[in-house]
């Protein structure tokens, strides 16, 4: 891992330095709960609808699966843009600087068991693309008619100048594991669908893409408590070897997909960010980075080693002596925790991760977020 880090630093020195930072007037985000700013909770009234979700930054549940801000919030802040409204949130409808189509439990490949009767979001990546297409088509009507809505939508030309951020794939790995499909069958199909979405956005005028690979799934408490594990199945950080290897396979195929997209989309600037390495580095060196108990959830009912219980999750309540009592409680100091609720990261962890990736040290090409409009100078 350190060799890759040093190689990235060396490549940074070899790349030509731009005289100016990119100017992205808007962000359009696609993804799952890692970047959902309120889509799922607005649609189904489930998820982070109770405190302590949002307690650290917002002071109330903001629709985010964290105690505070997500990576996409820090991306927007770095670019001088406001936090993104969820496309599905009727109470947050200012899309002048972009929109967020991500929803928790979303997958790349559409699933047969979707909410409210199943376990996955009906807003898979292809549906998020359709929502973007509808959004774009309605912009033309607003541009023609003007009126009160003109200040609530992106200006003409923003579609081509915007940054398109994508963070999805984690739920596909859990869907794959608990399905009858093989990785050899499922993963190529998922990456083919992913590629199709990127190409469609490109044909619509999108040029700048900031893509996250998937994180170390095997380090998350919801995986560690639900899958029988023994010492031989855990690595030195205490993470599941099986699930992390599955994430690595997905990431390897994603890398190949991006390389091919660079060949097919000559005007696109595609930056692939190695989220897996950053998050694993944080977890495996938690104490060095100022965190404690890296595999234990901050928010939970305290009933297990990892503080994760699928029947009593963060924010859940239960009736005790006729009173509705909070049983999924936050830890004393979320700023010392990496994992928030067994599945997602705390604001403190998200901030630490963003500080690493924003500089380009974990990116291919190794350019900073503010330079993401520049195409890879190396031939794919």
Q: How many whole angstroms separate alpha carbon 59 and alpha carbon 69?
A: 11
* 3-state secondary structure at position 298: coil
Would you say 273 and 203 are in contact if contact means Cβ atoms under 8 Å apart? no
Phi and psi of 178, rounded to 5°?
A: -95, 15
Nearest residue to 51 (alpha-carbon basis) of 35, 36, 67: 67
Q: Which of 32, 106, 344, 358 is catalytic?
A: 344
Q: Is 151 one of the annotated active-site residues of the chain?
A: no
Q: Which of 8, 33, 121, 124 is catalytic?
A: 33
According to DSSP, the residues that pair with 276 across neighbouring strands are none
* C-alpha distances out from residue 223 to 160, 246, 344, 375, Å: 39, 13, 12, 37
Helix (H) or strand (E) holding 246: helix 241-264
Q: Which of 67, 73, 341, 364 is catalytic?
A: 341
Structure tokens at 58: 């917002």
| Sheet hosting strand 163-167, strand order edge to edge | 98-100, 27-31, 163-167, 208-212, 269-273, 363-364
| 3 state SS for 180-243 | CCCHHHHHHHHHHHHHHHHHHHHHCCCCEEEEECCCCHHHCHHHHCCCCCCHHHECCCCCEHHH
Q: Is 293 one of the annotated active-site residues of the chain?
A: no
Q: Is 344 one of the annotated active-site residues of the chain?
A: yes
Catalytic residues: 33, 341, 344
């Amino acid at each position: 891992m350190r060799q890759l880090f040093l190689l990235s630093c060396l490549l940074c020195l070899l790349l030509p330095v731009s005289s100016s930072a990119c100017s992205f007037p808007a962000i359009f985000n696609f993804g799952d709960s890692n970047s959902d700013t309120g889509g799922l909770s607005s649609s189904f009234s489930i998820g982070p609808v109770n405190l302590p979700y949002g307690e650290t930054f917002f002071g109330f549940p903001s629709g985010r699966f964290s105690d505070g801000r997500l990576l996409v919030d820090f991306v927007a802040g770095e670019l001088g843009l406001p936090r993104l409204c969820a496309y599905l949130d009727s109470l947050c409808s200012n899309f002048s600087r972009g929109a967020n189509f991500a929803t928790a439990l979303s997958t790349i490949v559409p699933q047969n068991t979707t909410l409210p009767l199943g376990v996955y979001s009906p807003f898979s990546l292809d549906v998020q693309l359709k929502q973007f297409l509808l959004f774009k088509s309605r912009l033309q009507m607003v541009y023609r008619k003007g009126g009160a809505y003109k200040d609530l939508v992106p200006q003409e030309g923003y579609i081509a100048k915007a940054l398109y951020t994508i963070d999805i794939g984690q739920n596909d790995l859990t869907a794959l594991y608990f399905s009858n499909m093989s990785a050899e069958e499922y993963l190529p199909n998922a990456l083919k669908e992913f590629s199709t979405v990127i190409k469609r956005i490109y044909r619509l005028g999108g040029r700048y893409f900031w893509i996250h690979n998937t994180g170390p799934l095997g380090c998350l408490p919801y995986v560690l408590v639900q899958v029988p594990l023994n010492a031989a199945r855990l690595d030195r950080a205490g993470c599941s070897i099986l699930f992390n290897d599955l994430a690595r396979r997905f990431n390897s195929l994603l890398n190949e997909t991006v390389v091919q997209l660079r060949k097919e989309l000559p005007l696109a600037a595609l930056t692939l960010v190695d989220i897996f390495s950053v998050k694993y580095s944080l977890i495996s060196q938690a104490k060095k980075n100022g965190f404690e108990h890296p595999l234990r959830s901050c928010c939970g009912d305290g009933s297990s080693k990892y503080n994760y219980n699928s029947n009593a999750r963060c924010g859940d309540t239960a009736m005790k002596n006729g009173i509705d009592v909070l049983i999924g409680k936050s830890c004393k100091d979320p700023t010392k925790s990496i994992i928030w609720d067994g599945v997602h990261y705390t604001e403190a962890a998200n901030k630490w991760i963003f500080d690493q990736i924003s500089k380009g040290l974990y990116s291919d090409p190794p350019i900073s977020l503010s330079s993401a409009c520049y195409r890879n100078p190396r031939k794919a």
